[in-house]
């Protein structure tokens, strides 16, 4: 068992990036080689010269929805709602900030006062299940706000800056931030070098906002997130693996999708789909990626066997987070702390709008 305190560290407040850099690909990029422990410093736009022709980048195409809402209780008290998971067209799991938000409480949306939400349950993690009297997807662009992490205190002038340039599948409560560094120009340069792109989907949910508070990392209960790897992408990735080409995950959310595909027992849900639609075999590496669609409960901790991912692009993560634990599992805890120490000393920017690391 691994103690959670081993994933704590102190970060100077001025290292927390409050605004994104412009252009996106001018952010800094630390390159860490796992075999040698070598650390080098680059800019993100140098990525085509660092990766190899034939490498395959896999990115999460989930798009952040305007999931931050405000509502009023019958007493007039104001409530903040962060939508996390849509259970059905009218029912959402959400974080709700306000006093005495108990089951039975009725909330009226600001900006759409004729729409009400009934608080029907409290989740095991302390969230709320809200049932609206009508589907609200069409209302979100008008009454909702793009949610920023609580450590970002400056308002964002352009909400699109908290979206990746390839975001298309709406459903996340937070951005898959490793992808924020890519620009169309950089993506064209990568493709010209023979480095291809593929996309998976994972809608980022509750665990982005919740630190590990148990004493042991393995005792933490990770929440399921909706994800999909389609058959065409699975076949292309299996072909790349069979040919000895590297799979480079863009972000921890992509890692979770790809590794779920090689550990399909972690796919859950009544409507889950796992396997090839017509039993068509893929190009089969030792551990093939199986296409799936459903909820993944995969929790990656030190000792995990990575079967799909060969390299990882990721930002610098919060202490005691499941994302930091995943990175330690991939690169080793000692090397991770050496890289983080150097990043702090070298003035790297941390968290969502911060700089990136490429782990080879």
Q: What is the pLDDT at residue 279?
A: 61
Q: What is the pLDDT at residue 210?
A: 76
pLDDT tens readout for residues 32-41: 999 999 999 9
Q: Kindly state the tokens that stand for 114.
A: 């004729």
Least confident of 44-58, 276-290, 322-336: 276-290
DSSP 90: T
Say if strands 112-122 and 128-132 run parallel, antiparallel, or are unpaired.
antiparallel
What domains can you pick out in the chain, each with its CATH number?
4-64+157-359 (3.40.1780.10), 68-143 (2.40.10.240)
Q: Kindly state the tokens that stand for 254.
A: 């992509």
Q: What is the largest CA-CA distance in the chain?
A: 64
Q: Kindly state the tokens that stand for 19.
A: 């605004």
- pLDDT tier at 280, thresholds 50, 70, 90: low
What average pLDDT does the structure give for the chain?
A: 94
Task: Please give the average per-residue pLDDT across 252-270, as a whole number.
Answer: 95
pLDDT tens readout for residues 64-113: 999 999 999 999 999 999 998 888 999 999 999 998 899 999 999 999 98
Q: What is the pLDDT at residue 289?
A: 95
| Residue appearing with tokens 């190899």 | 52
For residue 46, pLDDT over 70 is answered with yes
Q: What is the pLDDT at residue 1?
A: 86
- Across 228-238, b (16+ Cβ under 10 Å) vs e yields bbbbebbbbbb
pLDDT tens readout for residues 121-165: 998 878 999 999 999 999 999 999 988 888 998 888 898 999 999
Give the C-alpha separation, 111 to 108, whole Å: 9
pTM: 0.93
- Asked if residue 234 lies in contact with residue 289, where contact means CB atoms within 8 angstroms, the answer is yes
Q: Kindly state the tokens that stand for 147.
A: 């949610």
Task: Please give the average per-residue pLDDT across 290-314, as a whole number.
Answer: 97
Judged by DSSP in three states, 103 sits in coil
DSSP 54: T
For residue 282, pLDDT over 60 is answered with no
pLDDT tens readout for residues 203-260: 998 666 678 989 999 999 888 899 999 999 999 999 999 999 999 999 999 999 999 9
- pLDDT tier at 50, thresholds 50, 70, 90: very high
Q: Kindly state the tokens that stand for 178.
A: 């490793």
Q: Kindly state the tokens that stand for 182.
A: 């890519």
Q: What is the pLDDT at residue 64?
A: 96
Give the C-alpha separation, 164 to 192, whole Å: 21
Report the candidate in 133, 120, 20, 137 with the shortest Cα–Cα distance to residue 69: 137
- Residue 264: phi and psi, rounded to 5, are -65, -10
- Asked if residue 81 lies in contact with residue 72, where contact means CB atoms within 8 angstroms, the answer is no
- Across 258-267, b (16+ Cβ under 10 Å) vs e yields bbbbbbbebb
- Asked if residue 6 lies in contact with residue 220, where contact means CB atoms within 8 angstroms, the answer is no
Between 283 and 357, name the one with better pLDDT: 357
Task: Please give the average per-residue pLDDT across 176-187, as a whole number.
Answer: 98
pLDDT tens readout for residues 14-34: 999 999 999 999 999 999 999
- The β-bridge partners of 247 are 56
């Amino acid at each position: 068992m691994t103690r959670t305190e081993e994933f704590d560290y102190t970060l100077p407040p001025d290292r927390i990036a409050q605004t994104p850099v412009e252009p996106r690909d001018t952010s800094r990029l630390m390159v860490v080689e796992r075999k040698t422990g070598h650390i080098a410093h680059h800019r993100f736009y140098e990525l085509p010269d660092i990766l190899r022709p034939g490498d395959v980048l896999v990115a999460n195409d989930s798009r952040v929805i305007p999931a931050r809402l405000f509502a009023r209780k019958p007493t007039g008290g104001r409530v903040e709602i962060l939508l996390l998971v849509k259970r059905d067209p009218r029912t959402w799991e959400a974080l709700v900030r306000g006093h005495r938000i108990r089951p039975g409480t009725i909330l009226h949306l600001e900006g759409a006062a004729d729409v009400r939400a009934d608080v029907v349950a409290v989740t095991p993690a302390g969230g709320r299940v809200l049932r609206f009297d009508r589907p609200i997807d069409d209302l979100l662009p008008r009454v909702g706000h793009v949610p920023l992490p609580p450590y970002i205190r400056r308002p964002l002038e352009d909400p699109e800056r908290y979206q990746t340039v390839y975001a298309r599948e709406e459903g996340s409560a937070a951005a898959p931030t490793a992808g924020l560094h890519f620009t169309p120009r950089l993506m064209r340069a990568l493709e010209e070098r023979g480095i291809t792109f593929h996309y998976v989907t994972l809608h980022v949910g509750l665990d982005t906002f919740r630190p590990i508070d148990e004493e042991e990392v393995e005792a933490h209960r990770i929440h399921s997130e909706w994800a999909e790897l389609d058959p065409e992408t699975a076949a292309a990735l299996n072909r790349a693996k069979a040919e000895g080409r590297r799979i480079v995950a863009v972000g921890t959310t992509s890692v979770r999708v790809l590794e779920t595909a090689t550990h399909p027992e972690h796919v859950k849900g009544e409507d889950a789909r796992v396997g090839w639609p017509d039993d068509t075999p893929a190009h089969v590496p030792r551990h093939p990626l199986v296409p799936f669609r459903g909820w993944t409960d995969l929790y990656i901790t030190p000792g995990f066997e990575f079967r799909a991912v060969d390299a990882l692009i990721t930002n610098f993560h919060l202490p005691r987070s499941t994302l930091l634990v995943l990175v330690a599992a991939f690169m080793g805890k000692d090397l991770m702390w050496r890289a983080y120490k150097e990043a702090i000393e070298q003035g790297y920017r941390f968290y969502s709008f911060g700089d990136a690391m490429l782990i080879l």
